[in-house]
Structure 1
Amino acid sequence: MAESYSTYCDAIEREVTRIGEVGRSHDLAAAVPCCPDWALADVLRHVGVLQQWFAAMIERRSPERLPFGEVDFGVPAEAADYPEWLVARQIEVGKVLRAADPDAPMYTWGPGGEVRFWARRMAMECLVHRYDAELAAGALTPVDPTLAADGVEEFLVNLPSAVGFAPHVANLRGTGQTIGFGVWGTEVDWTVRLDTDSFGLVPAVADPDATVSAETPDALLLLVYGRISRDDTRIKSEGEADLLDKWFTHSRF
């Protein structure tokens, strides 16, 4: 279901620009309800640093994870300057992304080992953090449903590889139990199986042990990223409660 490389480049530019707009027009000290330790300023700083780190690795076609200390992020001393810094640095990040060969080999922590991994990863990071920023500001705007559905798949594809920086993911083990993820009234559907020594996406099964479905793709994306809970009115879950508890306890990164 992955989108084109240019689609991800466009999404990164659009989402970062929107985060910058929110930062310019709202209180940077506003709390982020779904991230209790963060204020709006923290969202801008995080996205600004992360996009430059991604871009630095892409520009170097780095064969290994690049230490953050090797990148000059230029973070302003004052939070009030974060919005302009974020958007200005995005312009440079965009140039690096669009000049890169999406098929060029490089380090990735998830499957693929190519530049395109990072464009997709960055697009989803920015999409979710745009929600964080808008939620803090009380100014939510629609999420593209196609990109949101792609984000759900990207999350489920990469999650097994996240154990390197999210060791709790290793607790997602079982004896073949399956969880189905979907969107109400559509054919968007993914199935994850938990085995004794691994877990991951598998072809759809007729009767999974548990199911989680959402009213819209963006609601499902927010759910898997822990921005909303299963108690949200946009979410329905059925089947083995212990299995779902295990999944949502250990799947966040």
Structure 2
Amino acid sequence: MRDWSHAEHVRATGVEIGRMADVLRDADMSTPVRTCPGWNLAELTTHLGGLHRWVAAMVRDLAERPYDRNGTDPGLPADPGGYPAWLGEGAGPLSEALLSQDPQAPMWSWGGERRVGFWSRRQLHEAVVHRVDAELALGLPVSIDEDVAADGVEEFLEVLPYVRWNPGVAELRGAGETISLQADTGAGWVVTLDPDRFHHQRSLQPGTVTVRTTTSADLLLVLWGRRSADDYAVEGDAGLLGWWREHTGI
């Protein structure tokens, strides 16, 4: 695994937004997105493109509190056929806003890091997961760069404690049980359930339950609920893994 800079996260975000815009070009925007129940491609696209514009505005202003996402006009085209291009156009202003600020500059975020750098990383992995959603909806092959995916696994584990809108996260406690996430590429993490919290560390050790996949991309999709853990090797207490997955929806 490698460590990422703020600028690298921003550049990779732009690449991922462009990839999703390409995936959506000429697609039927009414296609259901099975990994986001109740949404179609149009709703998935407007969610992500609106998010980019919302984040860009807050980063530009170093906002101390969240802006009203419904309070500004994102410039959405009247014709859904224009949504893919509109999505792609949002990458430029988002990148410019993020690169214009010191990644350590304080601002509001919903995670543990109240600084600009939270948003460059969060927007990368938001774009990756929703690009996968679009590809799965259209029956296209899914591919995620290994370095991006490994960073995404760690980012998921870092932000999970702050997912206040899922009450199940507050129940992720235990008596030292461990969930081990291992990829054949050499990336690995172990989550430990303590009586008052859960925490994670990079580790290649097995756990109370261990999930073994080919790549970090597989692990990322399992964590985000885009793939079933049943598709991969599970060793140990499968019930613990099922309980973890039930409580970790973001």
TM tier relative to shorter chain: over 0.9
- Per mean C-alpha deviation after superposition, the further-off stretch among 15-24 and 75-84 is 75-84
CA distance in 2 between counterparts of 1:146 and 1:93 reads 22
Matches within 5 A, 1:158-169: 158-162=159-163, 164-169=164-169
SS at match of 1:69: coil
Corresponding residue for 1:127?
128
1:32 CA displacement: 2.0
- Amino acid of the residue matched to residue 141 of structure 2? L
1:55 CA displacement: 1.4
Is the aligned partner of 1:172 residue 2:172? Answer: yes
Corresponding residue for 2:30?
29
**Total equivalences in the alignment:** 249
Per the normalisation by structure 1, the TM-score is 0.91
SS at match of 1:27: coil
Partner residue of 2:236 out of 223, 232, 239: 239
CA distance in 2 between counterparts of 1:217 and 1:204 reads 14
Check conservation: 1:31, 1:136, Cα contact below 8 A. Answer: yes
Gaps of at least 5 residues in structure 1 are none
SS at match of 1:238: strand
- Amino acid of the residue matched to residue 151 of structure 2? D
**CA deviation digits over 1:49-88, x for unaligned, max 9?**
1111221221111122222134332223332221121122
- Amino acid of the residue matched to residue 92 of structure 1? P
CA distance in 2 between counterparts of 1:231 and 1:20 reads 31
1:158 CA displacement: 1.1
Check conservation: 2:60, 2:101, Cα contact below 8 A. Answer: yes
The 3 A distance-change label for structure 1 pair 207 and 214 is closer
Q: What is the aligned-residue identity percentage?
A: 39
Matches within 5 A, 1:46-195: 46-162=47-163, 164-184=164-184, 186-195=185-194
Corresponding residue for 2:229?
230
Per the normalisation by structure 2, the TM-score is 0.92
SS at match of 1:25: coil
Check conservation: 2:187, 2:204, Cα contact below 8 A. Answer: no
Check conservation: 2:172, 2:198, Cα contact below 8 A. Answer: yes
Check conservation: 1:152, 1:224, Cα contact below 8 A. Answer: yes
- Amino acid of the residue matched to residue 238 of structure 1? E
**CA deviation digits over 1:106-161, x for unaligned, max 9?**
11222222111110000000011111112222233521110100000000111011
Is the aligned partner of 1:220 residue 2:232? Answer: no
CA distance in 1 between counterparts of 2:21 and 2:201 reads 38
CA distance in 2 between counterparts of 1:12 and 1:71 reads 23
1:90 CA displacement: 2.1
- Amino acid of the residue matched to residue 79 of structure 1? P
CA distance in 2 between counterparts of 1:133 and 1:206 reads 34
Check conservation: 1:19, 1:44, Cα contact below 8 A. Answer: no
- Write out the 4+ residue segments of structure 1 that deviate beyond 3 Å after TM superposition: 202-207
Check conservation: 2:16, 2:127, Cα contact below 8 A. Answer: yes
Check conservation: 1:20, 1:83, Cα contact below 8 A. Answer: yes
**CA deviation digits over 1:160-188, x for unaligned, max 9?**
111x222221121111211111102x431
Check conservation: 2:26, 2:81, Cα contact below 8 A. Answer: no
